[in-house]
Amino acid sequence: MQLTWIGRYVFSALNSGANESQKQAATRRHVVNRLFVILLAVVASSILAGCGGSASKTVTLEAAPSTISITPGGAPQAMTVIAVPANGFSSPVQVTLSTLPTGVTATPSTLTLTPGTLGQIMLSVASNATPGSTKITLTGTASTLTQNATSILAVGALPPPMTSATLSNTFFDFGDNLVNNPLTQTVAVVTNTGPDTLTMNPVLTGDASYVIVANQSCGATLAPAATCNMVLSYDPSVASAPNEQNAVLNMGFGDVSAATPQTVSITGTSAMMPTGTVTATDNPQVALYTMTLPFPGSMTVQFGPTTGYGLNTWSQSTDTAGGTVSIFVAGMKASTSYHMAATVQFSNGITATDTDHTFTTAAIPWSFNLNLTTTTTQGMTPQSGLELLNPLSGVVVTDLSGNILWTYQDPSDGKVEFMQGVKMLQNGDILLNIGVSNAIPLQGSIPPNAFVEIREVNLAGDTVREITMNDLNSELATATCDECHVTLQTFHHDVTPLPNGHWLLLANTLKYLSSTTTPPLTNAPPETVLGDVIIDLDQNLQPVWVWNEFNHLDPNRHPMSFPDWTHTNAIIYSPDDGNILVSIRHQNWVIKVDYEDGTGDGNVLWHLGEGGDFTLAGGTDPTDWQYAQHGPSFFSPNPSGVFSLGLMDNGDDRLFPSGVTCGAQGAPPCLYSTVPVFQINETGKTATLTFHQIIPAAQYNLWGGNAEQLANGNVEYDLCGVGSNSYVNEVTQEANPQTVWNMTSTGVNLYRAFRIPSFYPGVQW
């Protein structure tokens, strides 16, 4: 019976190897071999007993396999035990185990074996058991017999846990940096995408300019599904430009596959912060600040009478490494020392400030003594900024206290020429026209040495570009645009820059008119008439569109000063529809012309004023229309449809209702000026007075001037021709206007005056 049981066990062991690992198969073969040995011993014992041998009865204890390998926390393994009888031994055998290592348990802990039968003990190893090999002794006891068997328990080390991780990038460029400027950036984000804790040992090698910012970076471990940043500081001590400074960050991931990316290549370029230079210009109150930037970036200059500065220029930039940036520093009083320093903003976000420089301005030319005084009403605050003044002899910019900060003198001898139409351009330059008085073409030929040109100048007073009247007449002679074939006399009054870089010039021309000419002159003797022309010059100063008043207006309407028929003095552009408004002083009209950004046919769309296309509301017709007006401007964000328009109503030839005799007792004075603001309804053809300040007759403004709405909602206007004086007022826009600020020029007429934010487009002082 015993032999049959053992044989079955061996047979079973021989045929149970499906789907097992190599290690498990080896163990099984070892057990089978051992059982064969035991089987042979039992057979031999039985044969000897059957032959009537006289040997004493005994038993032998055997264990298999000889070595049992278990992984901590792994599946339990069986140890097979057999008591092999000899000479007919048949007593039960009690089997016990020696003390087991910590973490190892046996089930069952003891066995009772019938000689010739097999028993099993299952050995389990806890996950925290210490790896190593231990000899396990099994002791079998039967009556006075004691037998031992041994097996080796091998507790193996746990296999390393496998996890996975990702890096957000394997390359990071710090870009450009300055020497001794610590630049801190997150160069990569680590994500543990596996089920187990990720171990890390970040190491940085390469250029010593880079260091790991430990308190902001990943630690030694990262929990599953968590992320952490690797933050590096780039603090170069020497310049490398144009070469790069390189390093490699190795994350030292543990327990990840060999294919897992875990390095980040680091690069950057460093240079020394340059020192700027400050030089004088042809303008006594303007300095030129220049820096060569090692990397692409922008520069702004802060300046003032102390190192507290207080004022700043606009920002100018270069998009190339080693590019030079120059800024004119304007806004300084004459004969005064100033401090200035440039702040540089590089394209990658780092900033640096140049060392402080000093600059002393020179004296103002004596010819610009405008005898200015200013007053501010107590408790009121004027709109901040500067005041741009246009005396006919040049250009002057002052602060609101009347201190002269910038000047540009008429380059002519000033005997017959005027400078007018001064505008600040979006590039920081100044546009102006220089021409002779309107009366000269009617009186005779223009002197051959007279300055007649449109000029763009920078803050240093240098001419950037210009076109003379002779040059323009030559261009018009060969131009192909409609109405281009006209001979011009002089530039005058205005020049308007457009958003597309074009300039609209205002010039005039002479034409002999009679009853048989086109246009016909029927209500006056034949004579030479002076009319105006608008010329559109493109960015190359080529004429591309011309509007000639002789082709669009009736010369038989001439309410004042004929044959100086129109005496146009302003052009304003409407960006809504691309058309233009034209102020025609000697017609008492502001008209709208179909310009359409150079594609319009030039037709007059409407006439605003006495005898025009609109019905006056909120005032007395005809008295409260504008007369001999100057300087209109938009008072609403939209310049078409329903919009607001303000202007200087000089009032030279004002009309009064029938039955009203101006100047009589109880009647209004004949000569007085007003500042009206009309709400224009282009569709309904109504003009409603929403503001109407009537200027006292003692300040009647014979000529010149303008009106504009300031950013704070107040109205500023220039009473240019009050005798030889001018008065510039900022007033509240209400029914009873209050004067907020006043500037008076004694002995000098200011053709126009504007409040500008500063010398720099987009910068408010």
11 and 93 share one domain: yes
566 and 649 share one domain: no
Q: Does residue 445 form part of some domain? A: yes
What is the tens place of the pLDDT at every residue in 243-268? 999 999 999 999 899 899 999 999 99
The whole-number pLDDT of residue 27 equals 47
Into how many domains does the chain fold? Answer: 5
Look up residue 147 and give its two tokens.
């037998």
Q: Average pLDDT of 6-18? A: 42
707 and 636 share one domain: yes
The whole-number pLDDT of residue 19 equals 45
The whole-number pLDDT of residue 54 equals 52
The whole-number pLDDT of residue 601 equals 97
Given a contact cutoff of 8 angstroms between Cβ atoms, the answer to whether 357 and 325 are in contact is: no
Partners of 581 in beta bridges: 572, 592
What's the chain's average pLDDT? 91
Given a contact cutoff of 8 angstroms between Cβ atoms, the answer to whether 590 and 614 are in contact is: no
The whole-number pLDDT of residue 247 equals 98
Confidence of residue 412 (pLDDT cuts 50, 70, 90): confident
The least confident of 24-33, 542-551, 655-664, 716-725 is: 24-33
Looking at residue 36, which CATH number applies to its domain? 2.60.40.10
What is the three-class DSSP state of 247?
strand
Omega into 622 within 30° of 0, i.e. cis?
A: yes
d(CA 447, CA 435): 11
667 and 602 share one domain: no
579-603 exposure pattern, b = at least 16 Cβ within 10 A, e = fewer:
bbbbbbbbbbbbbbbbbebeebebe
Q: Amino acid identity, residue 512? A: Y
Q: Average pLDDT of 143-154? A: 90
User: How would you class 263 by CB atoms within 10 Å of its CB: exposed for 0-12, middle for 13-18, buried for 19 or more?
Assistant: middle
- Show which of 271, 301, 334 is a domain's final residue: 271
The least confident of 470-474, 627-631, 663-667, 731-735 is: 663-667
The whole-number pLDDT of residue 21 equals 47
The least confident of 227-236, 362-371, 373-382, 476-485 is: 362-371
Strand order of the sheet with strand 386-391?
404-409, 394-398, 386-391, 750-756
Q: Average pLDDT of 55-63? A: 87
Q: Average pLDDT of 629-652? A: 98
125 and 27 share one domain: yes
Query: Which of 750, 732, 667, 741 is CA-nearest to residue 693?
Result: 732
Query: Which of 388, 398, 407 is CA-nearest to residue 461?
Result: 407
10 and 91 share one domain: yes
Q: Does residue 160 form part of some domain? A: no
Look up residue 315 and give its two tokens.
């920002």
d(CA 252, CA 255): 10
DSSP classification of residue 343: E
pTM of the model: 0.76
457 and 601 share one domain: yes
Confidence of residue 159 (pLDDT cuts 50, 70, 90): low
466 and 566 share one domain: yes
Instruction: Examine the pLDDT at 366 and tell me if it is beyond 80.
Output: no
- Percentage of the residues of the chain whose pLDDT score is greater than 90: 81
The whole-number pLDDT of residue 703 equals 98
Tell me which residue range forms the domain holding 174. 165-271
Q: Amino acid identity, residue 347? A: S
Q: Does residue 562 form part of some domain? A: yes
Q: Could you write out the DSSP letters of every residue in 696-725? A: PGGG---S--EEEE-TTS-EEEEEEEETTE
What is the tens place of the pLDDT at every residue in 434-458? 999 888 999 988 888 888 999 999 9
The whole-number pLDDT of residue 11 equals 37
97 and 110 share one domain: yes
616 and 585 share one domain: no
Non-local (6+) Cβ contacts of 684 within 8 A are: none
What is the tens place of the pLDDT at every residue in 184-213? 999 999 999 999 999 999 999 999 999 999
Instruction: Examine the pLDDT at 12 and tell me if it is beyond 90.
Output: no
The whole-number pLDDT of residue 161 equals 62
Given a contact cutoff of 8 angstroms between Cβ atoms, the answer to whether 719 and 726 are in contact is: yes
Q: Could you write out the DSSP letters of every residue in 356-408? A: PEEEE--PPPGGG---EEEEE-TT--PPPSEEEEEETTEEEEE-TT--EEEEE
470 and 615 share one domain: no
Q: Does residue 655 form part of some domain? A: yes
Q: Which residue has the tokens 């200035």?
A: 340
Instruction: Examine the pLDDT at 327 and tell me if it is beyond 70.
Output: yes
Given a contact cutoff of 8 angstroms between Cβ atoms, the answer to whether 468 and 396 are in contact is: no
What is the tens place of the pLDDT at every residue in 740-754? 999 999 999 999 999
The whole-number pLDDT of residue 414 equals 61
Look up residue 150 and give its two tokens.
């041994």
The least confident of 153-162, 387-396, 471-480 is: 153-162
Q: Average pLDDT of 108-122? A: 91
Instruction: Examine the pLDDT at 150 and tell me if it is beyond 50.
Output: yes
How many other β-carbons are positioned within 10 Å of the β-carbon of residue 477? 11
265 and 323 share one domain: no
- Show which of 339, 360, 381 is a domain's final residue: 360
The whole-number pLDDT of residue 413 equals 65
- Show which of 246, 271, 296 is a domain's final residue: 271
